[in-house]
Amino acid sequence: MEGLLNFITAVCGRIQVISDLFWDFPTNFEGYANIPVLGNFSLAVILLIGSGIYFTVRLRFIQVRRFSYGIRILKNSRAKDSKTGISPLAAFFLSTAMRVGPGNILGVTGAVSVGGPGALLWMWISAFFGMATAFVESTLSQ
C-alpha cells in the first residue's frame, strides 16, 4: 500500500511541474513581470485567449456570421415522422447546463465582487473569443 502511495505522490509531483509551467511560467521572471499589461497574464491565459483570437480571425468571425443559423436550428423541431430522439432546443439546454454550472455562476459573482464591474467586460470579451474556440472543439469532436 505504501508503494502505491509513493507512486501516486510521484505522479502528482510530475503533474504539478506541468501545471506550474502553464500557470506560473512567464510571471515568475522579473523581466516579464515588468511588462505593463502582458506581465500579469500566465502562459495558459495567453494561449487560451490567443487561440480564440486566432480561430475568430481564421474562421472570419464565425460566432457573428452564423449566429442566425444557430437560432434557426434551435427553432426547428424534430422531423414530424420521428417519434424518438431529442429536439435541438433540448440538446442546447442540456449542453448549456453541462457547460455552465454552479462554479461558473459563483466565479462571476466572485470576480465582480473582487474586481468590480470592469471584470464583467473582460469576461464578455474572453467569452466572445471563447465561442470560436468552442466551435472548433465541437467540430473536431465530431
Cα-based angle 39, 61, 54 (whole degrees, multiple of 5)? 35
The answer to pTM > 0.85 is no
Neighbours of 66 (CB within 10 A): 15
Domain count along the chain: 1
The per-residue b/e assignment along 35-51, b for 16 or more CB within 10 angstroms, e otherwise, is: eeeeeebbeeeeebbee
Domain that holds residue 117: 2-77+85-141
The whole-angstrom separation of Cα 85 and Cα 7 is 45
Is-contact 90 78, C-beta < 8 A?
Answer: no
Would you give per-residue pLDDT tens digits along the chain (142 residues)? 888 989 999 999 898 888 877 777 776 677 776 777 766 777 788 889 999 999 999 999 999 999 999 898 888 766 566 667 788 888 888 888 887 877 788 888 888 888 888 999 989 999 999 999 999 998 998 8
Which amino acid is it at 21?
L
Give helix then strand counts, H and E, for the chain. 8, 0
